[in-house]
Structure 1
Amino acid sequence: MQSDIKTVDQYFDSLPEDRKPAMTRLRQVIKDNLPEGFTEEMSYGLPGYVVPHALYPAGYHCDPKLPLPFVSIASQKNFIAVYHMGVYADPKILDWFASEFPKHSKAKLDMGKSCIRFKKPENIPFELIGELMKKMSVKDWIGTYEMAFRRK
């Protein structure tokens, strides 16, 4: 569920009270652990962490006017989601995350392609999410993205 909210702070202000603590902590964990170069902005109606055009002028292949997305977070109706494109594009990172998850959470891993879903905020493995954020630099992500998604 995307929003038409214009800023990340407005998005967080609009969250239900029961979701604010977990979402705020998730935001901070991401900001504290993402490598230098990614920027925070609204992306597809969600708080996102992107490679800005200043670092990757080509932008996102689906819409080159948009910066290259990397991670987004969302408070959806029935879960909190982390959308991590590196997990989707790099099998090594996916394998690492899937093998580490049980060491950090009692919940069963609930994933789609890039979407990691948490039905209960108390089951979010914040430390593991922080480690995941460190797995790809901007340069790594651009290289992986170009190999996986850009058609030459």
Structure 2
Amino acid sequence: MGSSRFLYVGSFDYFAQRGIPMCPEDLVRHDCLLHRFPTTGTLEKWPLTRAASKPEVRLSASMTSNHVETLLHMVVQGHGIACLPDFAVKQAVADGALRTVLDDWANCCSTFQVLWPPIGSCHPGFGNLSISWPRTCSWNRIAIRPSVRIE
């Protein structure tokens, strides 16, 4: 269906108060807004592109959410830095509400796939659309239930 790139973003007000991270190690001194997988409860690792010899940066979560729009709202409000798909932050960056940081380490892309079950395999009244994309070797699935009954 398409692909996207993950970007590290924060508000200008946040960076004016806390400074701009220049390398991934600087993130330990920042408020990181992290995504939590709804199915497992685990925190998603930020896909920082780094040399294999470099140790993983352990981020401290100032807030977690399993909802991209919630993370976007919180980062626009100046509550920290988030790693979000480019399509989610495109307008906020264009409008000047957010700026990207750590662009040299933001090279991870993902591909969207849409899966629709065969006709007759759905429970009447539910449309089971599953939108999936790989994020650091794991799958995130969102089931969407329509507000109207499908007959």
* TM-score normalised to structure 1 length: 0.24
Name the structure, 1 or 2, with higher relative contact order (CA <8 Å, separation 6+).
Answer: 2
The structure with the greater share of residues assigned to strand is: 2
The structure with the greater share of residues assigned to helix is: 1
* TM-score normalised to structure 2 length: 0.24
